[in-house]
Structure 1
Amino acid sequence: MPERMPRYRRRWLMRKRERIAQADALLMQLESPLESVLAAAKIAHQHHTTVALNPAPARELPDELLALVDIITPNENGS
């Protein structure tokens, strides 16, 4: 878990860890904080959960996150 992520968000994500690990897929979008998206993608990747990302709203994405994403689902007008 990134240290710069607020403590309440780290706790929330840790409570969801098992659910992410057992899922077939995890779909995320970028209205959530980027550090939360990255942390969830890492959990999913560790447990072979397919990671899908809707990259909206459009912004620069770190290579570390892109390496964890299996499917990118851009919006026609949003990305």
Structure 2
Amino acid sequence: MKTSKKLSTFFMTGLMIYLLSGCVVRTRPVVVRPAPPAARVEVIPAPPSPRHTWVPGYHRWHRGHYEWRPGYYRRGRRY
């Protein structure tokens, strides 16, 4: 009985070591981007129709720098 308990404990310890040895924790690099520039002042033109809604412009991060995406009119959805 003692031998069986020792063998069982040895087996369980070996199994736990085997299962936990696969746990690898890798840190991911931290990327810190500069804050975007202040939003530009846009002159909003007259809408093409009453169904259109103005979508304001924004700065988008692209290839290592911010680039301005101008605003535009978007046609509303029909439900």
Larger % of helix: which? 1
Higher RCO (CA-CA < 8 Å; seq separation 6+) = 1
Q: By the TM > 0.5 criterion, same fold?
A: no
Query: Could you say which structure has the larger radius of gyration?
Result: 2
Q: TM-score, normalised by structure 2?
A: 0.20
Larger % of strand: which? 2
